[in-house]
Amino acid sequence: MSSPQSPDRFNEDAATFTVKGGDAPDLDAGVAAIRNVLKTLPQNPGVYRMTDLRGDVLYVGKARSLRNRVTNYTQVARLPKRLQRMISQTRGMTIVTTNNEAEALLLEAQLIKRYRPAYNVLLRDDKSFPFILLRADHKFPRISKHRGARRAKGNYYGPFASAGSVNTTLNALQKLFLLRSCTDSFFNNRDRPCLLYQIKRCSAPCVGRISEDDYAELVSDAKSFLSGKATSVQSKLGDQMQGAAEAMDFERAAMLRDRLRALTFIQGSQAINADGVGDADIFALACRSGVICVQAFFIRGGQNWGHRAFFPAHTNDVPEDEVLASLLMQFYEDVPPPRLILLDRTLTESALLEEALCERAGHKVSITMPQRGDRVRLVKQATRNAEEALDRRAAESTTQGKLLRDIAELFELEGPPKRIEVYDNSHIQGTNSVGAMIVAGAEGFIKGQYRKFNIKNPDTVPGDDFGMMREVLERRFTRAMDEDPDRENGTWPDLLLIDGGKGQLSAVKGVLDALGVEDVPLVGVAKGPDRNAGRETFHLVDGREINLPMNHPVLFYLQRLRDEAHRFAIGAHRTKRAKALVTSTLDDVPGIGPARKKALLMHFGTARAVKNASLVDLQKAPGVSGMMAQGIYDYFHASGIEPS
C-alpha cells in the first residue's frame, strides 16, 4: 500500500495576501477586513483562512473561484448566525491559490488538521491509526504493529480501528505464519531460540531453525492472507496437514493444525461478513438532538479490520453532507484511501472528493452509495452501529453530567466543571523528575490536552515535591495568562485537583496568588491513613476536609482522575529514565558523534575512563585525530565535568 502524498507542495508557489482590519470586535469591522482582501483576489481556485485580531485561525475554506466565494461573506444578512459570529471576529485573511479545486480541497484538509479552527467541522481523534508492517529490508522480514509516518521499506496493511484489534490480529498471525516480531538487534544477538519459539509463535530464524527459502514461503503466505486470499492459504495448510498425517509426522501435523485454528480464529472474529468487497471503507452518519456520529468500518481483503465511531466537533448549523465530506477529507489526510468508499448518502461534491483522493492515493478511488446487494447490508449495519453509538453516548453523558453536577455541589462550584485539570509528580529520589497534567471534561478524558513538564528550574531542590508542584503550576498558568488572558479558548480549568495533601495545596495556592489567579477552585486529594483507596481526604483552600463514603460514585470518579494522572506521570518518568540510561556526557563534547562516541567507549570501556585518559592515550584511540583528542582533553579538564 502506498503512502499518501503530502499536500505541502501547494505552499511552495502559493500567492499569499494578508490584510488587517480594525481593532473593534464587531460585524462591520469583519466585513471591512474581508472587503479589503477582495480588492486583490483572483478568480483562481484556492484556500482562504479567516484570522482574528491575534492572528489565530478562525476558519479554513476552499473555493473554485476565490473572488466569488469570499464575496459571499460580505452579504451578511444571507449568512447563518454561526458565520455571522465568525465574521464579527475576523480581522484578516490569508489566501493561497492552487492549480485546481481538487488541490484546494487537499490543502484545506491539511490546514484544518494543522490549525484546528473554531468554526470548521473537526475530526476529534488525537491518535493515529495503527497498521501492520511486514518489513522488506531484511532476509528474514519482521512483522510488527506500526503507527505514524510510513517511512520504513515494506508492506503496510491497515488501518485497524484500534490498538486492540491490531494486537489481536498480530497474535493470531504469529501463530499462523510463525514470523519473527523481534527487533534486528535482538535477532542478531541470539544464540538460542527465545520463548516465542517454545510456544510456537515464531520459527526461530535467528538461530537457523528455518531456512531462508522456507521463511520466504511463510512471508509469501502472510502477504496472500493479508491481501484477502485466505481461502488459498487455508487450502494449502489443509493439504500440508493431511500430507504430514499420512507420512505419520504427527508433530508437524499438530503444528499445522494449530496454524489452521489460528486462521479460523481470525476469520471467526470478524464482526461482519464482507466477502467480495475487497478493500473498502464504509461510512454512515446518524444525528440525534444536534449530536452527530459517523461510524466507519475498515474492510481490507474482504476482512473486517475493526470499526470506530467518530463524533466530529463544531457541527451546529452545518448540513450533514458537509459534515461527512469534511470528515472524509480530514480522515484521509493521514490514512491512505482504499479503492472503494461506501457511504449511506450521495454527497454533492462526490466527484470532487474522488478527484482529490485519487491524487492523494495515486490510484482510482470510487465514492458511492450502494443500491442493492451485500454492500447495502454493510452500509445499513454501519448506520445501525452509528445510532447505537449515539445511544451509548447519550447514556454516558447523562451519567457523566450527574457526576459533574455532584462535584459542583460537593466543592461549591458555580456550575458543573467543563474542564478539570489534575496534577501529579513522579521521580526516584529526585532523579528524572517529571510533572504531569491530565484533563477531563463532560466527554471523559481529553488526552490531546495532556502535558508533561520536565523539572528544570535550578532552584527546585531534587525530591522536593512541593517545589516541583510550584514549578509546574507556575509554568502552566504563566503560559495560560500569556496565550489566553481573556479565557476565551476553553483552556482555563474550572477545577484543579492536586495529588497531595495540605502541603501541595498550599504550594499551588501560593503560585496562583502570586500570579493573580484567584478564581480557579483548588482541591487536594490525599490518600487515607494507610494510603489505601476509598479513604481519601479532599482538602479545600479554606481548611475544610471532606471524606466521602467508600461506595460513593463521586469518590470513584475522583479516584479515576487521580489514578490517570498518576499513570501518566509514571509513564513520563519511565520514558525520561530510559532515555537517560543510554545518554552520556560524551554526547555534549563538541565534535563527538555517535560513531566516535561508540569507538571511545569500546576503546576505554567507560565515559569516566575517557575523562581520566591522558592526552597521549586519547590520541591512540581509533578514529580520534590529534586536534580532536586535544578538544576532548580540554573539555573535561577545563570544565571539571564528571562523566556518567
The enclosing domain of 546 has a CATH number of 3.30.420.340
Q: Is the pLDDT of residue 17 over 70?
A: no
**14 in a structural domain:** yes
**1 in a structural domain:** no
Q: Is the pLDDT of residue 181 over 80?
A: yes
Asked whether residue 474 falls in the same domain as residue 371, the answer is: no
Lowest mean pLDDT among 192-196, 491-495, 569-573: 569-573
Which tens digits make up the pLDDT trace of 302-316? Answer: 777 888 899 998 888
Asked whether residue 430 falls in the same domain as residue 554, the answer is: yes
Report the mean per-residue pLDDT for the chain.
Answer: 83
Question: Which residues have C-beta within 8 Å of that of residue 100, sequence separation ≥ 6?
Answer: 45
As a residue count, the chain comes to 644
* Exposed / middle / buried, residue 279 (Cβ in 10 Å: 0-12, 13-18, 19+): middle
Asked whether residue 99 falls in the same domain as residue 140, the answer is: no
Question: Which among 428, 574, 431, 555 is positioned nearest to 497, based on CA atoms?
Answer: 555
**36 in a structural domain:** yes
pLDDT of the residue at 620:
81
Distance, CA of 397 to CA of 442 (rounded, Å): 7
Domains: count for the chain: 5
Asked whether residue 218 falls in the same domain as residue 97, the answer is: no
Asked whether residue 98 falls in the same domain as residue 137, the answer is: no
Residue with cell 478539570: 420
**534 in a structural domain:** yes
Task: List the CATH number of the domain containing 598.
Answer: 1.10.150.20
Q: Is the pLDDT of residue 419 over 50?
A: yes
Using the 3D structure, point to which of 268, 303, 328 is the last residue of a domain.
Answer: 268
C-alpha cell at 507: 504550594
**396 in a structural domain:** no
Asked whether residue 547 falls in the same domain as residue 464, the answer is: yes
Asked whether residue 64 falls in the same domain as residue 157, the answer is: no
Task: List the CATH number of the domain containing 72.
Answer: 3.40.1440.10
> pLDDT-based confidence at 450, cuts 50/70/90?
very high
Asked whether residue 510 falls in the same domain as residue 626, the answer is: no
Which of 220 and 583 is assigned the larger pLDDT? 220
The 3-state secondary structure of 421-486 reads EEEEEEEECCEEEEEEEEEEECCEECHHHCEEEECCCCCCCCCCHHHHHHHHHHHHHHHHHHHCCC
Asked whether residue 263 falls in the same domain as residue 321, the answer is: no
Write out the H or E segment, with its range, that includes residue 292.
strand 291-300
Q: Which of 3-7, 59-63, 156-160, 583-587 has the highest mean pLDDT?
A: 59-63
Distance, CA of 444 to CA of 430 (rounded, Å): 32
pLDDT of the residue at 137:
86
Which tens digits make up the pLDDT trace of 574-610? Answer: 877 676 655 566 666 777 777 777 777 777 777 777 8
Asked whether residue 226 falls in the same domain as residue 245, the answer is: yes
pLDDT of the residue at 585:
66
DSSP for residue 275: T
**411 in a structural domain:** no
Which residues lie across from 434 on neighbouring strands?
A: 426, 454
Using the 3D structure, point to which of 65, 85, 115 is the last residue of a domain.
Answer: 115
Whether the CB-CB separation of 512 and 520 falls below 8 Å is answered with yes
* Exposed / middle / buried, residue 156 (Cβ in 10 Å: 0-12, 13-18, 19+): middle
Asked whether residue 160 falls in the same domain as residue 253, the answer is: yes
Residue 522: domain span? 419-579
Whether the CB-CB separation of 172 and 233 falls below 8 Å is answered with no
Distance, CA of 81 to CA of 543 (rounded, Å): 47
The pTM of the whole model exceeds 0.75: no
DSSP for residue 277: T
**82 in a structural domain:** yes
Amino acid at 510: G
Using the 3D structure, point to which of 579, 599, 628 is the last residue of a domain.
Answer: 579
DSSP for residue 140: S
Mean pLDDT of 491-519: 88
Which tens digits make up the pLDDT trace of 45-95? Answer: 999 999 998 888 999 999 999 999 999 999 988 888 889 999 999 999 999
pLDDT of the residue at 637:
75
At 299, phi and psi to the nearest 5? Answer: -110, 125
Asked whether residue 500 falls in the same domain as residue 462, the answer is: yes
Question: Which among 498, 483, 570, 492 is positioned nearest to 538, based on CA atoms?
Answer: 498
**397 in a structural domain:** no
